[in-house]
Amino acid sequence: MLDCISPQQAAKLFVDALGVASGLNPTRPVLVIIDGLDETDRKHLNDTAVIFSCFFKELTRYPNVKVFISSRTEDDIRNPLPAI
Does residue 84 sit within a domain?
no
Is the pLDDT assigned to residue 82 strictly greater than 70? Answer: no
Other beta carbons less than 10 A from residue 17's beta carbon = 12
Contacts of 64 (CB under 8 A, 6+ apart): 22, 26, 27, 28, 29, 30
Q: What is the pLDDT of residues 6-56, one digit of tens each?
A: 777 877 888 899 999 999 999 999 998 887 776 777 777 777 777 778 888
Task: Tell me what pLDDT residue 80 has.
Answer: 63
Q: What is the pLDDT of residue 74?
A: 60
The reply to whether 16 falls in a domain is yes
Residues of the domain holding 45: 7-77
Task: Check residue 78 and give its pLDDT.
Answer: 60
Q: Is residue 83 part of a domain?
A: no
Number of domains in the chain: 1
Query: Which segments within 3-81 are labelled E, that is strand?
Result: 30-35, 65-70
Region class of 36: left (phi > 0), else alpha (psi between -120 and 50), else beta: left
In a domain, 11, yes or no: yes
